[in-house]
Amino acid sequence: MLLLIVHDDAEIGEQLMNMLQDYTPHACALARSEAAALQWANKHAHCELLLVQLQAPAVDGLALGGALSEIFPGLQILFFPPYSSTEQRVAVSKSKVFPEPIDGERLLAAVETASAAGPDARDLFQPLDVLQMCCLSGRNGAIQMVRGTDSGIVYLRDGKVGDAETANERGMKALVEIVSWDLVEFAYDATVRGPETISRPWAEVLLEAASCPKETPPRPDTIPASKPPAAVDAPPPKKRGFFSAFRRG
């Protein structure tokens, strides 16, 4: 398996590469920017695992993950976010997000899980893993999550969950449904905006959604939900992993 590490801190990048070379049989490469990673990708026929900073001055991990997934089908991705592990509020088992200080044993286990996935495996994430990562990193926009024929969107505003929608639900009910999906593929679009139907802190909202049985209505929000916008039909993505186009419905 060929791994690509993308990190703008030379010392951390070298430490990660040395650890992976010492404790795994996999070949590793290191790039210090998004541009350098794309140049590397154009010179290589395959890459099975990307370990990437979520955001840095020269790196947008979500954008780079989407671009490289188009070049390397079946690419698996692990993220290094800009916040510390002490800031996390939701416990996620087998997380694919590694805040500092990086847990080396957990990272090595995730690498071996990716190695066992196979060349055509989908790059799957737990919804709570993605949502906590995007909230703690202060993201705006929308995250689309897809599980089979199920699709939902969570709208973010300054790192807070502002709204959610699925085919049949809106607001907290939709968020409960999305969080109940064990594993999803996801896409992120920073340009999409949605209404604000959820006003509580993101951690409180996610913890409630995770603990709320699907058939039990969540606590009503203080802001009434607006009518969902009409869905726009779009063809399914050609490749698995990060979707090349943000889809509705």
Q: Where are the domains of the chain?
A: 2-115, 124-249
pLDDT at 220: 56
**68-85 tens-digit pLDDT:** 999 999 999 999 999 999
Q: 34 by DSSP, 3-state: which?
A: helix
| Contact indicator for 111, 3 with CB cutoff of 8 Å | yes
How many contiguous H segments (helices) and E segments (strands) does the chain have? 7, 10
CA dihedral 90, 188, 185, 55 (to 10 degrees): -60
pLDDT at 120: 81
> Which segments of the chain have a pLDDT < 50?
216-217, 224-245, 249
Which phi and psi angles does 106 have, rounded to 5°?
-70, -35
Q: What is the pTM of this model?
A: 0.86
The partner residues of 186 in beta bridges, in order of sequence, read 145
| CB proximity list for 195: less than 8 A, separation 6 or greater | 155, 162, 163, 225, 226
Query: Does domain 2-115 correspond to CATH entry 3.40.50.2300?
Result: yes
